[in-house]
Amino acid sequence: VFFVGLLTKSGTSPTLAWTIILASAAGLYFFGHLVNRLTVPKPPIDAPAAPEAPGENAKNIQRTLILVGVGLSGYFFLNAIVRLLLHGVWVMSGAQPPTIGADGKVVGALVGLQGWKLPEIGKIIGFDLSLGGVGTEIAQFVVCGVVLAACLTLAKRLIAGSAMGEALGSFIRQSGFPAILFFILFYRFGEAMVGKMSALFLKDAIDKGGLAILNDQLGLMNMFGGILGIILGGLAGGYTVSKIGLRRAFWPLAFAMHVPNLMYVWASSGVKVPTEWIYGILFIDQFGYGFGFAGYMIYLMWIAQRGHFQTSHYAIGTGMGALCITTAGVLGATVQANFGYNGFFIAVIFMSIPGLLSLLYIPLDESHRQIKVEVE
């Protein structure tokens, strides 16, 4: 963001500036990948898997594509449901959006609960279906529902009895799975909402409730406050778990992740926030996130070690965690549109409570000695 701001100030268009920076970052990541492949030693247990039966690789590709189909169709199916429900909130509450005057300026303010007003013209992948906003969402709901049902039927037929099916089944059948699932989905939920919205809050105009930080300033803040904070927080979190164990460390880790969000409640309350204080807010927030996230990742590692499909179980857990990020972003955008930034950050505090409560129910009765050694 810092370098994009510099390029933009020098006269480069924002699109070209982002293209240059993202391409440079991709090249840097690729160079790092090559260096790692050539220099990082491979552990002895990282051996090639046993050869699959003839034709099994092709079936695994089919199973993977079916699961991708389930994920995509399920996402857009749920997306249509949420948007229709929120549009219903808009209609039933009698909300009225601000109007645009003859001079092009916004006149009036939002009246009623905003919800989510669907556009008058509904488009899918840029194509106007001439169904209107509501009609397009209904069409998406029906089509994606049919595709989802078909993909689930195929998945049940192709995956049942396979190693992939056994990996999924053993993850679901493990003891304490409902509590584990709840933990994965909600432990980071409040912080995930902040992660999606904090940059917008920092950049948005003062009259919209933001702090009006410029791109180059935001880049410096993220560099010295955000990146440094999350690295140090992650190291401190891993060190803490290695010394006192996950059972004793979990509550301090979780509180360190969520309590700093109170600073955003204060910063969005209309007070004048000095620029140097924003560095501190970002550092403490990201340090707390890195500190608390260490517990989350270590717990996923422990879950993976409970069964015979360790890599698959870890991948399933991290995938479910990504679902939390997406859901938090959708909910956060709706809350901010209805209640502004201050109301959003207050909602974040309340949405952090379920994740904290999950620590009371997740299985922690087995030894974490192996995890402790691996962290060290």
In the chain, where are the structural domains located? Answer: 1-43, 55-160, 166-376
The reported pLDDT for the residue numbered 96 is 62
pLDDT at 52 over 80: no
Of 14-23, 51-60, 135-144, 281-290, the range with the lowest mean pLDDT is: 51-60
Q: Which residue intervals of the chain are DSSP H helices?
A: 2-9, 14-39, 56-93, 132-159, 163-173, 177-186, 189-203, 215-221, 228-258, 261-267, 275-304, 310-351, 353-358, 369-375
**Cβ within 8 Å of residue 81, ≥6 positions away:** 141
Which comes out higher in pLDDT, residue 130 or 166? Answer: 166
pLDDT at 252 over 90: yes
d(CA 234, CA 115): 37
The reported pLDDT for the residue numbered 375 is 40
Residues paired with residue 99 on neighbouring β-strands, in sequence order = 107
The reported pLDDT for the residue numbered 332 is 85
The HSE-up count of residue 316 (CA atoms within 13 Å, CB side) is 23
DSSP 208: G
pLDDT at 273 over 90: no
DSSP 45: T
The reported pLDDT for the residue numbered 103 is 60
Best-predicted range by mean pLDDT among 29-33, 100-104, 168-172, 218-222? Answer: 29-33
User: Do β-strands 123-124 and 99-100 pair in parallel, antiparallel, or remain unpaired?
Assistant: unpaired
The HSE-up count of residue 122 (CA atoms within 13 Å, CB side) is 17
166-376 maps to CATH 3.60.20.30: no
Of 171-185, 206-220, 285-299, the range with the lowest mean pLDDT is: 206-220
Average pLDDT score over the chain: 82
The predicted model scores a pTM of 0.76
